[in-house]
């Protein structure tokens, strides 16, 4: 079982203006002469906590992390305008060019796996390898499972709290009902909805509920960006042209070395989605963690991801 590398600090931080509205915060850590890898965080709207750096050997990797539009240290906070999947794909390319990187490995979990697939299918020639975890392809059946029905049967107590901000007559379409409140002019309404939405995900992200994760997801600043941006992407169907676009276009990346790590008991991103990707992309190494849920901090997932980053450092 692999343990995290020791904590490190970035050797460089910066800001990059990527649109008329948005400026993203980025950092580099590890070895400036190491192999470049970019981490695409979850959410959308989750940001990059410092412990993410510990999944990468600091002697071998030049690790690039950035907070996507509207979250973390990027500005403006929780902004929905000019915030789309394809805007983020463009941001990744702008950041790569800004840093003078020719090709890099891309690492992404949960929504980060969605964005990794969208980016790599758009720019396969810029990807040296792909490490994915907790596969999410933002299809309607995946959204219905977690936000409308399905996961509620496994976590009925947490689901009850998720329902509270929404009156019974609106519960037939929870994403639309939440979007109405997360974009309300009333700050109290927005925050109540944001915390309930965010805590629902934090409550279901690990095989055994982790109070520390639930507390972090419930923090006001985090929850506001996380819930608003997630719901914005979901109500807009990920800004994809067609349902299942990422799976349909997987042939564009089948030649790229890749590993997929999936917890068998992942509730937010159930294994059926990863299995579909595996069947369409048999060249990618597929690793199922038998005693894990969704979170990259769970022991088996953590260990598999570190083993993957170690392996890919020699590509």
Positions marked active-site: 110, 266, 294
Strand-pair partners of 258: 130
Name the pairing type of β-strands 12-17 and 127-133.
unpaired
Strand-pair partners of 35: 61
Angle at 314 between CA 311 and CA 315, to 5 degrees: 95
Query: Are 99 and 309 a contacting pair, CB within 8 Å?
Result: no
Helices (H) and strands (E) counted in the chain, each on its own, are: 11, 8
- Separation of alpha carbons 65 and 13, rounded Å: 10
Query: Are 262 and 274 a contacting pair, CB within 8 Å?
Result: yes
- Separation of alpha carbons 256 and 115, rounded Å: 16
Sequence-distant (≥ 6) Cβ neighbours of residue 139 within 8 angstroms: 243, 244, 273
What is the chain's Cα-based Rg? Answer: 18
């Amino acid at each position: 079982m692999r343990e995290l590398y020791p904590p490190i600090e970035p050797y460089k931080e910066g800001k990059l203006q990527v649109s008329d509205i948005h400026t993203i915060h980025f950092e580099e850590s590890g070895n400036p002469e190491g192999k470049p890898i970019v981490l695409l965080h979850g959410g959308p709207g989750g940001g990059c906590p410092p412990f993410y750096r510990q999944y990468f050997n600091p002697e071998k990797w030049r690790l690039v992390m950035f907070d996507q539009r509207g979250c973390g240290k990027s500005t403006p906070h929780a902004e929905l305008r000019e915030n789309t999947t394809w805007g983020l794909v463009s941001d990744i390319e702008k950041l790569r060019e800004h840093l003078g990187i020719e090709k890099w490995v891309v690492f992404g979990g949960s929504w980060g796996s969605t964005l990794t697939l969208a980016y790599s299918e758009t720019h396969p020639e810029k990807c040296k390898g792909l490490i994915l975890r907790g596969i999410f392809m933002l299809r309607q059946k995946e959204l219905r499972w977690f936000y409308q029905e399905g996961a509620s049967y496994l976590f009925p107590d947490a689901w009850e709290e998720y329902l509270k901000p929404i009156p019974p007559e609106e519960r037939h379409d929870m994403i639309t009902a939440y979007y109405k409140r997360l974009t309300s002019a009333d700050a109290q309404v927005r925050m109540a909805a944001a915390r309930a939405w965010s805590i629902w995900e934090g409550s279901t992200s690990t095989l055994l509920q982790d109070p520390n994760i639930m507390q972090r997801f419930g923090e006001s600043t985090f929850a506001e960006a996380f819930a608003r941006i997630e719901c914005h992407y979901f109500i807009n169907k990920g800004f994809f042209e067609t349902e299942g676009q990422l799976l349909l276009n997987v042939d564009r990346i089948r030649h790229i070395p890749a590993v997929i790590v999936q917890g068998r008991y992942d509730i937010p991103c159930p294994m059926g989605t990863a299995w579909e990707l595996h069947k369409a992309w048999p060249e990618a190494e597929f690793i199922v963690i038998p005693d894990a849920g969704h979170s990259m901090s769970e022991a088996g997932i953590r260990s598999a991801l570190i083993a993957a980053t170690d392996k890919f450092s020699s590509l």
